[in-house]
C-alpha cells in the first residue's frame, strides 16, 4: 500500500464534536402539577392511601396510585451532602415528607452537615422551571408539620422541551484513521481482510465480527457495489446532512462483504421506487470542486448503474 500516510498504530487522530439530542419530556399529572405550582412558590408532593408523602409529587407511590396531591413545607433537614466544583448539593428531607429531594445548597455553606436545617430559596426570575425553587439555604428554620391537601387548580405543565448536549472527542483509531487517510489522499476505499473467513470488512476494524480473530491485511475495495437495502426518507429530523427527500442506502462494495451506509442519488427522487431495486449495481459519485475531507462524505452519493444487474 501507499506509504507516507498520516495514520499509524501509534497515533490516534481524532475529531471533536458535540452530540445533540433535543427531546420533549412528557411530565404526567403529578410532576406537571409540581412544576406548575413552583410558580406559586409551593412545593407539591403526593400522599399514598397509607399516608406516605413523596416529593416531588409522583402519580404512583410504591406501585399504588397516589391518593392525593399535597403541599409540603419549604423547610427541611439535610440527610446527606457533597461539595462539587459548581457548589454544594444535598439530599433534603422536607418536613412531613418521607422521601428526600436533591437540590443545591446556596449561600454560606460553611455549616453544612447532616441534620442541618434548611429552607427554600425561590428564584426572583419567572419561568425557571424546576429552578424556580432555586435551592435551599442553611438557617434555623423551625420544623413545620403542616402537609396540607393541594387546593389549587393550576394547569399541570404537561410538556418540557429538553436539549441534551454532549461534547466529546472521537479518536478514529488506526483502522478508521487509515480509511480516512486513503479517502483524503487517493479517493480510495480500504477494508481489512479476515485471515480466517477471508471476508473483507468495510469500514476496517481490528477484529472480524464473525470470527473474532484479529484482522491484519488492508485491502482496496472498489467504489462500485451492490444496493442491498434502501429507504426514501421524507421525514425531517435534527442533525440531517441532507434535505429530504433523499435515499438512505446500504451498499456492499465490490470486494467487500459488509454493508456500508450511504445515499443513492442522481435521479428524480419521485422515481426512486420505480428505478431502484435490491441487487442493482451502483457506483460512487465523488464530490468535485472541493478538497477531500478524508470522510465517506467525500462521496456525494452512489448512482445506479442502469442497464445492468
Nearer to Zn ion, 160 or 211 (CB): 211
Q: Least distance in Å: CB of 254 to Zn ion? A: 19
Q: How far is the CB of 198 from Zn ion (least distance, A)?
A: 7
Q: Which of 141, 194, 200, 253 binds Zn ion (CB under 5 A)?
A: 194
* Options 197, 219, 232, 280; binder of Zn ion; rule CB under 5 A: 197
Near Zn ion by CB under 5 A: residue from 6, 8, 114, 196: 196
What is the rounded CA–CA span in Å between residue 160 and residue 269? Answer: 36
Q: Which among 294, 295, 235, 292 has a CA at the least distance from the CA of 262?
A: 295
Select 131 or 211, whichever has its Cβ closest to Zn ion: 211
Shortest distance, position 178 Cβ to Zn ion, whole Å: 19
Cβ neighbours of residue 96 closer than 8 Å, sequence gap 6 or more: 53, 72, 73, 144, 145, 146, 147
Instruction: Write out 242-288 in H/E/C secondary structure.
Output: CCCCEEEEEEEECCCCCCEEEEECCCCHHHHHHHCCCCCEEEEEECC
307 CB-near residues (< 8 Å, 6+ apart): none
Residue number, 114 or 196, with CB nearest to Zn ion: 196
The nearer residue to Zn ion, 82 or 196, going by C-beta atoms, is 196
- Cell numbers linked to 247: 435515499
Q: Which long-range contacts (CB under 8 A, 24 or more apart) does 282-288 make?
A: 282/224, 282/225, 282/226, 282/227, 282/249, 282/251, 283/223, 283/224, 283/225, 284/223, 284/224, 286/187, 286/223
* 18 CB burial (10 A radius; 0-12, 13-18, 19+): exposed
Cβ proximity to Zn ion: between 118 and 194 the closer is: 194
Spatial CA neighbour of 106 closest among 149, 70, 137: 137
Instruction: Supply the minimum distance, in Å, between the C-beta of residue 193 and Zn ion.
Output: 9
Q: Does 40 bind Zn ion (CB under 5 A)?
A: no
Instruction: Show the site string, 205-244: x = touches Zn ion by CB under 5 A, - = not.
Output: ---x-xx---------------------------------
**Taking the complex as a whole, how short is the minimal distance between the CB of residue 12 and Zn ion, in angstroms?**
25
Report the nearest approach of Zn ion to the CB of residue 210 (Å): 5
Stretch that binds Zn ion, among 49-57, 134-142, 150-158, 197-205 (CB under 5 A): 197-205
Choice between 193 and 262, CB closer to Zn ion: 193
Helical ranges in 111-193 per DSSP H: 173-186
Is 272:263 a contact under the CB 8 Å cutoff? no
Cβ 197 to Zn ion, closest distance in Å? 3
CB of 217 to Zn ion, least distance (A): 12
For Zn ion, the closer of residues 204 and 304 by Cβ is 204
Report the residue number, 64 or 209, with the smaller CB distance to Zn ion. 209
Closest listed residue to residue 88, CA positions, set 75, 74, 101, 107: 107
Q: Count of CB atoms within 10 A of residue 46's CB?
A: 27
Count residues contacting Zn ion (CB under 5 A)? 6
**Contact residues: Zn ion, CB under 5 A:** 194, 196-197, 208, 210-211
Amino acid at each position: 500500500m501507499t506509504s507516507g500516510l498520516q495514520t499509524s498504530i501509534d497515533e490516534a487522530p481524532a475529531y471533536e464534536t458535540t452530540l445533540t439530542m433535543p427531546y420533549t419530556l412528557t411530565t404526567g399529572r403529578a410532576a406537571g402539577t409540581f412544576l406548575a405550582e413552583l410558580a406559586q412558590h409551593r412545593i407539591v408532593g403526593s400522599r399514598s392511601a397509607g399516608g406516605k408523602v413523596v416529593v416531588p409529587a409522583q402519580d404512583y407511590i410504591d406501585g399504588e396510585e397516589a391518593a392525593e396531591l399535597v403541599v409540603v413545607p419549604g423547610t427541611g433537614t439535610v440527610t446527606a451532602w457533597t461539595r462539587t466544583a459548581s457548589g454544594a448539593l444535598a439530599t433534603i428531607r422536607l418536613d412531613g415528607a418521607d422521601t428526600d429531594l436533591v437540590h443545591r445548597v446556596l449561600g454560606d455553606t460553611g455549616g453544612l452537615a447532616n441534620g442541618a436545617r434548611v429552607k427554600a430559596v425561590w428564584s426572583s426570575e419567572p419561568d425557571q422551571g424546576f429552578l424556580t425553587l432555586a435551592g435551599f439555604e442553611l438557617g434555623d428554620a423551625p420544623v413545620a408539620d403542616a402537609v396540607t391537601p393541594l387546593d389549587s387548580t393550576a394547569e399541570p405543565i404537561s410538556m418540557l422541551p429538553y436539549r441534551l448536549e454532549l461534547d466529546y472527542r472521537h479518536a478514529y483509531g488506526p483502522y478508521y484513521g487509515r480509511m480516512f487517510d486513503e479517502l483524503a489522499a487517493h479517493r480510495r476505499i480500504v477494508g481489512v481482510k479476515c485471515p480466517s473467513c477471508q471476508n473483507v470488512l468495510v469500514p476496517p476494524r481490528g477484529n472480524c465480527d464473525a470470527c473474532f480473530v484479529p484482522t491484519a491485511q488492508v485491502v482496496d475495495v472498489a467504489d462500485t457495489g451492490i444496493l442491498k437495502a434502501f429507504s426514501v426518507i421524507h421525514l425531517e429530523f435534527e442533525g440531517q446532512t441532507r434535505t429530504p427527500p433523499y435515499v438512505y442506502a446500504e451498499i456492499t462494495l465490490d470486494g467487500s462483504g459488509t454493508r456500508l451506509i450511504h445515499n443513492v442519488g442522481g435521479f428524480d427522487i419521485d422515481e426512486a421506487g420505480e428505478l431502484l431495486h435490491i441487487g442493482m449495481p451502483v457506483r460512487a459519485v465523488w464530490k468535485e470542486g472541493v478538497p477531500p475531507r478524508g470522510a465517506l462524505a467525500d462521496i456525494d452519493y452512489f448512482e445506479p448503474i442502469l442497464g445492468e444487474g
